[in-house]
Structure 1
Amino acid sequence: MRIAVPVLDTEVGGRRLVNAHFGKSNLFAIVDTASGSVEIVENPGLHVERGRGVFIAEMFKEKKVDVVLVKEMGPGAFDKVRNRLGIKVYLVPPEVKFLDDAVEKFKRGELPELLEPNEDEHRA
């Protein structure tokens, strides 16, 4: 299974931090649960002001992503990723700060599936 998570450039003690902002995240980690490999890829939609979800969804499709873990996802990206591509989206709770913790919680079935967008795309 391949899991995508928006991440920050910053690491703490060698551990990658989850980025709370999906569409504005500079980077995404693509975690392959079979091999344990982690690929860090740039957000292909950063060059546009609106509609980043289209570019991100296309990248996820190319990278064969099965699942996305997020803290927040707006309606546009949610529509492209979940509704059009059928990639399941799961909610990372605020207290989970690190990529490895988020992935472990998902693997243990501790993250709820996100069934609708939880970020208002019109806020700052």
Structure 2
Amino acid sequence: MRVAVPVTGGVVDGPGEGEVVRIYEVGNDVKLIEEYENPAKYAMAARGVHMLKSALERGAEAFIVAEIGPPGLRYLESKAKIYLGKGYPVELALERFMKGELPEIKEPTHGHHHERKVNRF
């Protein structure tokens, strides 16, 4: 399975913030397939979607991210699974992914423009 990870300084980042995108082949072991500059760095709107699209075009079937907003979640709906690796060094996130220990993201981790998601009762 190909897994895409936005990375800054060796740590899992958000799709709109990561300096680079790494694509890994994950099976019995982990192999780095490709690393490239995150196209989100040059986008004016829905930055994270640009990163997600680029990784899907390279065969990504899953994503490990630090956060994801509504546009990114909508974009990946029925295209790929998304897992939360916030604060993890990439190697640890991939290890936990392989063990099934990363939570799958089913709803945005923040609102539009990185406002905090607030639960209202």
TM-score normalised according to structure 1 size: 0.79
CA deviation profile, 1:84-124 (whole Å, cap 9, x unmatched):
x5200011244x2x101000101101011100111222237
> In the alignment, is residue 103 of structure 1 matched against residue 97 of structure 2?
no
State the Cα deviation string for residues 49-68 of structure 1 (Å, max 9, x = none).
Answer: 21223422321221100110
State the identity %. 31
Q: Structure 1 runs of 4+ off > 4 angstroms?
A: none
Query: Partner of 1:28: helix, strand, or coil?
Result: strand
Tell me whether 1:26 sits opposite 2:55 in the alignment. no
Unaligned 5+ segments in structure 1 are 11-15
Distance 1:55 1:122, change over 3 A: closer
Q: Specify the alignment match of 1:90 in structure 2.
A: 83
Question: Deviation string for 1:16-50 (max 9, x for gaps)?
Answer: 2222x321222111111147321212112321221
Letter in 2 for 1:43: N
Q: Indicate yes or no: 2:35 matched with 1:40.
A: yes
| RMSD (Å) for aligned C-alpha atoms | 1.9
| Structure-2-length-normalised TM-score | 0.81
Find the aligned partners of 2:105 and 2:95 in 1 and give their Cα distance.
Answer: 17
The structural deviation recorded for 1:6 is 1.0
Q: Secondary structure at the match of 2:92?
A: helix
Q: Mind listing any 5+ residue stretches in structure 2 that lack a counterpart?
A: 116-121
- Retained in 2: the 8 A contact 1:22–1:70? yes
